[in-house]
């Protein structure tokens, strides 16, 4: 499993354990996001995301040292370690932050629905994004996922995704990758209209 590195982009995703769902009701989605922001905002900037009933996809950038020192108090406990020890401990703390997030949501979910045991698969997946081409295709992949899995037929109908506001919340990155707002919408629509191309994107995302 890849160690999380500072100032790097990652595709992070996970699935419900077994045949369960992560989200049983509409109110579960904003609750998940509220827990997510509490635990993950201190360590990462979220670029793109999509929540679906039984799984989710995230594109995040782990913050740099200056940002972590400002936003993540535990980072300051590493200042007296050697460079190698600091990197190992930081990677542990970053992964632990995600684990704490999953645990916090699971505990609340289990209490509400009177269930027991793990809700998520044990180890969340993470894959480093190494170049802009991968970044471009990954954003399309994340946003189109609800259509691929049959949760909706139109991108505009799926509420729980960054599709609706990525180009306004990440204007510089969106402009670099997609061009204008019209271009941004057209790139998504073109891939939505051609699922063979979408499946090709998926193969790229999962094998690169």
For the chain, which residues make up each domain, given as ranges? 1-129, 131-208
What is the predicted pLDDT for the residue at 203? 65
pLDDT single digits (tens) 70-100:
999 998 888 888 888 888 899 999 999 999 9
The DSSP H or E segment spanning 10 is strand 9-15
Q: Which CATH architecture has domain 1-129?
A: 2-Layer Sandwich (3.30)
Lookup: tokens for 78: 């590493």
d(CA 62, CA 179): 25
What is the predicted pLDDT for the residue at 177? 95
d(CA 22, CA 14): 10
Local structure of 99: helix, strand or coil: helix
Cβ contact 160:29 at 8 Å: yes
Question: What is the chain's pLDDT, residue by residue, as a tens digit (208 residues)?
Answer: 568 999 999 999 999 998 899 999 999 999 999 999 999 999 999 999 999 999 999 999 999 999 999 999 998 888 888 888 888 899 999 999 999 999 999 999 999 999 999 999 988 899 999 899 999 999 999 999 999 888 988 888 999 999 999 999 999 999 999 999 999 999 998 888 776 566 666 666 666 5
Side-chain-side CA neighbours of 169 within 13 Å: the count stands at: 11
What is the predicted pLDDT for the residue at 204? 67
């Amino acid at each position: 499993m890849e160690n999380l590195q500072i100032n790097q982009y990652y595709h992070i995703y996970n699935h419900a354990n077994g045949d369960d769902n992560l989200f049983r009701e509409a109110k579960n989605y904003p609750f998940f996001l509220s827990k997510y922001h509490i635990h993950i905002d201190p360590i990462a900037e979220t670029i793109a995301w999509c929540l679906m009933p039984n799984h989710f996809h995230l594109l995040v950038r782990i913050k740099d040292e200056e940002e972590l020192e400002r936003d993540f108090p535990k980072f300051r406990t590493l200042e007296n370690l050697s460079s190698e020890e600091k990197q190992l401990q930081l990677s542990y703390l970053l992964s632990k932050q995600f684990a704490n997030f999953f645990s916090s949501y699971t505990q609340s979910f289990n209490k509400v629905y009177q269930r027991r045991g793990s809700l998520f698969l044990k180890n969340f997946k993470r894959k480093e994004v190494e170049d802009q081409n991968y970044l471009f295709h990954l954003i399309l992949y994340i946003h189109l996922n609800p259509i691929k899995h049959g949760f909706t037929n139109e991108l505009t109908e799926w509420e729980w995704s960054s599709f609706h506001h990525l180009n306004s919340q990440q204007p510089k990155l969106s402009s670099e990758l997609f061009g204008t707002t019209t271009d941004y919408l057209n790139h998504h629509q073109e891939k939505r209209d051609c699922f063979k191309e979408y499946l090709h994107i998926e193969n790229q995302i999962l094998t690169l």
